[in-house]
A = this chain, B = another copy of it.
Amino acid sequence: MQASFMKRALELAQNPSTTCLPNPRVGAVIVFENKIVSEGFHAGPGQAHAEVMAIRAAESKGFKNFSDSQIYITLEPCSHLKKRTPPCAPLLVEKAFQKVIVASLDPNPQVSGSGIKLLKSHHIDVELGLLKEQAESLNQDFIKNQLRAMPYITLKVAMSFDGCMADDFGKSQWITGPEARQLTQELRARADSLGVGSQTFDRDNPRLNLRLENLTESRRVIVFGSPKRNLKKSKASAANGMENIISLKSVKSLKQQLKTLYLKNGVCHLLVEGGPRLAQSFLKAGLVDELVLAYGSGFMMGQGKYWIGKESKPTHLKKIQKFTPEEVKLVGGNILARGRLNVYRSC
């Protein structure tokens, strides 16, 4: 029963249709006499925290009996004052909840555990770790940000069934069908920034914004390499605003560049969309956290000019960049596979 309330809180955390970054996704459920009184979730920066939304919703119904209630929260309530919203742990103390059930700790090493500590110091019963892994899965990007001070990297690769990202003439529109391409929009919804190689940027002039059915949003666009196309006149600039376009020349340390993007530009989750050179750089440097593969069309054959490894040295089978998909499905005749190369834990 307890687990089902936390499951509901995890569902709520997924309510926002686009990213909450730099904030985490959080859900909360208030339970009185084994029934849900009210629910809350965090909708993004500047919005109410999940606990606050749930408490407000309960109060708006005239509910006052918090001291006989439990609250289920997917993430440790905040205790620090660096936010635009007042901290939640003191509010839970004020409402004197009978019990607070928390799925996972705040991953920020500087504050992790302090929310729990505050509650306990006020003699509130706290249970930690219920559906912890599911809660951590929700916020892999946020957890990596806190632990590593680096953006979370999702790499999406669309290929023919023999592994080519374009035909020998550079044509890649479209290797996958409309249903599979819809997935790209869902991936863009989860990220705050999109990465693209300068060759792809020059050749395809992509818009690189988020286009869901009822929602268009701009994204920060990072162009890796030296594009020939005038950035100001690009479709990406028209769709996202010139202030959101960052052009980065190739440097030795891609990792260092990513650290700067996080610290200086606030890039929290970068979706790398192509082309083959950029994909290779990220894979070879071991910088990919999550990999999404889409196979479509058929067998490209030809010279494989846009093969992902075209420019790298021979590798032995035993030394290749390993990958194990966790999910696979058929979508409109295309194979879609997904897997994580890194898993981040909050403690």
A residues touching B (Cβ–Cβ < 8 Å)? 159-164, 166-169, 171-173, 175, 280, 283-284, 293, 295, 297-305, 307-310, 312-317, 320-330, 333, 335, 337
Q: How far is the CB of A96 from chain B (nearest CB, A)?
A: 48
State A307–B301 Cα separation when bound (angstroms).
Answer: 8
In the docked arrangement, what's the CA distance between A327 and B293, Å?
16
Q: How far is the CA of A162 from the CA of B293 in the complex (A)?
A: 10
C-alpha gap A168/B175 in the complex (Å):
26
Nearest B residue to A168, CB-CB: B314
Do A163 and B329 touch (CB < 8 A)?
A: no
What separation, in Å, do the CA atoms of A37 and B325 have in the docked complex?
48
Contact at A161–B301, with CB atoms within 8 Å? no
Which chain B residue has the least Cβ–Cβ distance from A310?
A: B304
Within 8 Å CB of A161, what residues of B? 163, 293, 323
Pick the contact of A328: B314, B315, B324, B329 (CB < 8 A).
B329
CA distance A322 to B295 in the complex (A): 12
A sample of 19 inter-chain contacts (CB < 8 A) reads A161-B293, A161-B323, A163-B164, A167-B315, A167-B317, A168-B314, A283-B299, A298-B320, A298-B321, A299-B321, A299-B323, A300-B309, A301-B321, A302-B314, A304-B307, A326-B330, A328-B328, A328-B335, A335-B335
Interface of chain A, main secondary structure: loop
Q: Shortest Cβ distance from A246 into chain B, in angstroms? A: 27
Nearest chain-B residue to A312 (Cβ)? Answer: B301
Q: CB within 8 A of A335: which of B163, B307, B325, B333?
A: B325
User: What 5 new A-B contacts, CB under 8 Å, besides A169-B317, A297-B320?
Assistant: A160-B163, A162-B307, A167-B316, A167-B320, A284-B301
Contacts of A323 in B (CB 8 A): 161, 297-299
User: Are A175 and B317 closer than 8 Å at their CB atoms?
Assistant: yes
Instruction: A295 to B301: give the CA distance in the assembly, Å.
Output: 17
- Using Cβ atoms and an 8 Å threshold, which residues of chain B touch A307? 162-163, 304, 307
**A-B residue pairs, 6 tightest by C-beta:** A163-B163, A301-B309, A168-B314, A324-B333, A298-B322, A162-B163
In the complex, the answer to whether B169 meets A314 with C-beta atoms within 8 Å is yes
Cα-based distance from A303 to B304 in the complex (angstroms) = 10
A299 surroundings in chain B (CB, below 8 A): 283, 308-309, 320-321, 323
Cα separation A309 to B168 with both chains bound (whole Å): 11
Contact A308/B162 with A283-B301, A328-B329 known, Cβ cut-off 8 Å? yes
Alpha-carbon distance A325/B333, docked complex (angstroms): 6
User: Could you tell me the distance between the alpha carbons of A321 and B313 in the complex, rounded to whole angstroms?
Assistant: 29
Known: A159-B163, A163-B159. A317 touches B329 (CB 8 A): no
Q: CB-CB < 8 A to A317: which residues of B? A: 166-167, 169, 171-173, 175, 297, 300
Interface contact A314-B303, CB-CB below 8 Å = yes
Contact assessment for B304 and A304 in the assembled complex, using a CB-CB cutoff below 8 Å: yes
Q: In the assembled complex, which residues on chain B have CB atoms less than 8 Å from the CB atom of A303?
A: 309-310, 313-314
Q: Which residues of B contact A321 (CB under 8 A)?
A: 298-299, 301
A305 and B316 CA atoms in complex are apart in Å by: 12
Most-contacted residue by chain B among A172, A297, A320 (CB, 10 A): A320
Q: In the complex, what's the smallest C-beta–C-beta distance from A280 to chain B, in angstroms?
A: 6
A273 to B194 CA separation, bound complex (whole angstroms): 40
Q: CB-CB < 8 A to A164: which residues of B?
A: 163, 309
